[in-house]
Amino acid sequence: MNSEIPLPHHQRTYKLENGREVGVSESVLRNELHQVNHSDVFSPSGTRSVVLGELVKFLEHSHRPSVRFEWPARFGDDESLCSICSRITLDTNLQNAYNTTTGRLGLSVGIVLAREVSLGTLSSLNRRSATCPLCRVAFSVLSKDPSIMTDTTASSTEECFLRPALGAFRTYVDSIPVADVFYGNRPGNSVRGHIQFSRYRHVPPSVWNIADSSTSEELSSQQAAARLCDNIISWQNSSHQQVDFHQIRNWLKKCEDEHGSTCSPDRHKSHLSRDNATFVVIDLDEMRLVKRRLSSSFDYVTLSYVWGGRNSSVTNNMNFESRLQQRGLVSSFPDLPAAVRDACTVVREVGRRFLWVDALCIKQDDSEDQASQIPLMDRIYSQSVLTIVAMSGEHAQCDLPGVKPGSRPNPIQRTERTPSWIFTELPPTLDRVLKLSKYETRAWTLQERLLSNRRLYLTRWQAYFQCYRYVYQETYHRPRQIVQDERLFQFQGSGEFYFNLSHARLSLSTQWHIPSLKVDDGSTLISWDGRSLITYDKLVNELSCRNLWDPNDILKAFQGIVSNMEASQAGPFVAGLPLRVLDRALLWAPVRGLQKRELSKNTKAIPSWSWCAWTGPGVKHPWASYGVLNHLLDCDFRAHASYIQDFFLEDGGVFRRVDRNAYNATDKSQPLAVGRPEDYGMSLVQRHGDGGQFLHFVTQVVSAHAFNVGVGSKRGQIGSQEVEGDWDLMYSPGGRYFVKAISPANEGVVATCVELGENGNQTGLSSFVYTKKNVPSENEKDPLPATRIFNSRGDECGIVLADEKSIRHCFGGPQAAAQRRKYNLVLLSANCKGFDGVRCDPVVREGRGDRFMLYAQFACQGDYSLYNALLTEVVNGYEVRVALVQIKEDAFLEAGVRTEYVRLG
């Protein structure tokens, strides 16, 4: 079906919404595909869908080799479909396909939906699935997500949609026409899976009738192919499919043999072998706990899962010694959580002996054991040969899907044959599945997933294997996602260049790894530049919105990542903040309303200036996102200047100076002066019960009562309709390059880029691509955490990053003067204000459930005239953080500035 054609400029093309075709460098594509073609892992379960497609093509061509598809076409020529599906119209799609034999791009024809189609509500789709094959496949796609299966009642109004798309796996490897399956029609809803269509209307029914019979007559090649098709379809629809462990062993072996130091635990040896630490693992041959030295040469597997449910078989001080004895775990094994028992089976199946599980390998009632083992989490996970991820489990008592017969009640790839069509379910990509799991809502699982070299995800959809090079999935024998390096998207040659943002998102967003914190030369040193700052912001944003069984564990759940970063010479962390970039790290703000985290009485208090002290839908840093500040204050967060000469940290009753990545703004060649606490007249906050962690510094302060949040017709609260919401920074080319447009296509959202020439960007205009992580529902009633503040003349002068109701009492108003004097604005740093009268409106595009924003911004050439300050409350002689404030310089200075020694707790 492929006829090779020369492509203009040797480019792989995308068709944009305006009908224009654009391309990406074929040389990059060829290199990528060459690697994938040599990453083949044979497995019967992985190749069945491929064989099925080839058999259908053979049958169709053997009967009507010269007949082209008749268009316009619809599913209506097949009487087995329901009234909704039979009216779905189709279209042809000519796309460039990669020929693995010749290594060239060629032209192929596919069938694609002509437009978006509504299949009605989930309950109506469920009813029609009893008789309609296409509805049955669509319902199978949606039924694997338990979060939406509660909506099968007649009262649910959410609709199910099919949308035309190309490529079920968001890589360059395939461009097969598919229908994306969505639940709900709000912007940013995630793709739940895909459906592929294969047409064979010219195959006579007699061929299938003989294939269905048990005749012993010799079959023709067509009849034999038809029988094999039906056998494959029967297997695809089996409800007792187990994971193909032969395939998993091959994935693991291929990664170990061919990926070298990229995916090997040995690559952590240089900075993680800090001491001769020991830990405990389960010896599955001797069925007991054993102590081992933590080393990259020791071969073991780790388990990452969601705690909860009945878990009475944890290791404690009472049973620890007995479990160290030969076969000491045999008696308690039946009482272990189902996820742990199944993990033991997986370890044996992949040819390993040792397993690490936190509930069994750390004494759960021993604070000293926990204090010694939790800081080792980075080493435990990063030096394991494989991490088993129980991604579909609601708690520890849930089975690992596919390990035991019947543990995956829904077929992972339902396939239906009608007189004219074969409909095949294609599972979603790993990054889509991650968004749909409870596993990704738990705080502990974040560091467990990110720190692991190789991860085996066992899900209701299928099994996925991810290393630092590829993502394999059970339903195909080649990697269907490539863990791409953003350097692949650098500009090739001159003129315009195009790339698919949905492809790039795989490595830059959902599935970024801890090694992305390393500098480009491959060393283990963390360079606190724009890239590592953005990664830190992503870590904070991810962890702060996740749930904990025990609120006291917030710092422990971050400890593994912190240990990894500190060992990579990122500098010390305190209360979750990196001290070397403390000025920026203090500038965090809520995504939605926050509340103070309630800790138990015996737990050390977390300082208010740390995001760890608060709980809610998450926090982010304004310098790493696009939101109300960019839209309403038009500021440039790239330029940042601190107003604090020296920070001193009081921790446990002892002072230490904070060493920051900073330089003298007046003369960069001169080092910053090093002060001492006594130089500023500082004293410890000795009355604090647990010693506490306080920041001591001298800065400028104004009283909050000099401002108000609106009177009369002027209201402070900023509504969601005024801005596009908050967006996470994804990509900025910088230098002489510029992203001039983004456009949706059937393959995703495509960015159009230009190289600006040898003279570079003379206008100082830079482009930024942001991505939407969480999309609030249309019925979202919570106010944005953003409130305007006004000076005494009624002029708008800044924004408090909190909702009006929570901070109104802090500012000027009818409350008593004594109450007002308790609240201050404490100056930390400043950013550049954008050019007045020049605004670049953001452009938002959506494709395949991904939302992207393109924003252009002029570089600041003026003064640092937008101040970053903390709204604080005076409590017992020290300041407590209330909110972050961005305020114009002149308004701050006019409010009666005073220089004060601040103790921030």
For 172-183, the pLDDT digits (tens) are 446 678 899 999
Highest mean pLDDT among 268-272, 300-304, 366-370: 300-304
- One-letter amino acid identity for 857? Q
End-to-end alpha-carbon separation of the chain, Å?
A: 70
Distance CA 270, CA 567 (A): 10
More confidently predicted of 155 and 7: 155
pLDDT band at 7 (very low <50, low <70, confident <90, very high): very low
The mean pLDDT value for 217-233 works out to 78
Please give the model's pTM, rounded to 2 decimal places: 0.86
The mean pLDDT value for 647-660 works out to 91
More confidently predicted of 571 and 289: 289
User: Whose CA is closest to 479, among 818, 126, 136, 174?
Assistant: 174
Structure confidence at residue 275 (pLDDT): 64
522: CB partners within 8 A, 6+ apart? none
Residue 95 has pLDDT above 60, yes or no: no
More confidently predicted of 757 and 58: 58
**Rounded to the nearest 10 degrees, what angle do helices 44-63 and 221-236 cross at?**
140
Beta bridge partners of 289: 282
590 touches 616 (CB < 8 A) = yes
The mean pLDDT value for 615-643 works out to 80
638 touches 859 (CB < 8 A) = yes
Which residue reads 């040896």 in tokens? 269
The mean pLDDT value for 335-341 works out to 94
Strand order in the sheet with 288-293: 288-293, 278-283, 354-356, 301-304, 386-390, 455-458, 463-466, 470-473, 481-482
Taking the CA atoms of 57, 59, 60 and 66 in sequence, report the sign of the dihedral they define: positive
The mean pLDDT value for 41-69 works out to 65
Residue 282 has pLDDT above 50, yes or no: yes
The mean pLDDT value for 484-504 works out to 56
Phi, psi of 398 (to 5 degrees): -80, 140
The mean pLDDT value for 202-206 works out to 68
pLDDT band at 49 (very low <50, low <70, confident <90, very high): low
Q: In percent, how much of the chain has pLDDT > 70? A: 74
869 touches 882 (CB < 8 A) = no
The mean pLDDT value for 732-747 works out to 79
Structure confidence at residue 71 (pLDDT): 54
Distance CA 797, CA 897 (A): 16
Structure confidence at residue 13 (pLDDT): 52
Whether the upstream peptide bond of residue 72 has omega within 30° of 0, thus cis, is yes
Distance CA 415, CA 394 (A): 28
Structure confidence at residue 201 (pLDDT): 64
Half-sphere exposure of 435 (CA within 13 A, CB side): 19
What pairing do the DSSP bridges indicate for beta strands 455-458 and 386-390? Answer: parallel
SS (H, E, C) 510-555: CCCCHHHHECCCCCCCECCCHHHHHHHHHHHHHHHCCECCCHHHHH
For 527-565, the pLDDT digits (tens) are 687 777 888 888 898 889 888 888 888 998 888 888 888
H or E segment to which residue 381 belongs: helix 377-382
- Strand ranges inside 114-201, DSSP E: 117-121, 159-166, 177-183, 191-199
The pLDDT mean for the chain works out to 79
Distance CA 849, CA 775 (A): 11
Classify residue 123 by burial, with Cβ atoms within 10 Å: 0-12, 13-18, 19+. Answer: middle
> What letter would DSSP give residue 43?
-
For 124-149, the pLDDT digits (tens) are 999 999 999 999 999 999 999 888 87
Taking the CA atoms of 544, 550, 551 and 556 in sequence, report the sign of the dihedral they define: negative
What pairing do the DSSP bridges indicate for beta strands 301-304 and 386-390? Answer: parallel
Structure confidence at residue 72 (pLDDT): 55
What pairing do the DSSP bridges indicate for beta strands 595-596 and 3-4? Answer: unpaired
Structure confidence at residue 520 (pLDDT): 38
Residue 779 has pLDDT above 50, yes or no: no
Q: What is the DSSP string of 838-899?
A: -----EEEEETTEEEEEEEEEPP-S---EEEEEEEEEETTEEEEEEEEEEEHHHHHHTT-EE
Structure confidence at residue 762 (pLDDT): 58
445 touches 306 (CB < 8 A) = yes
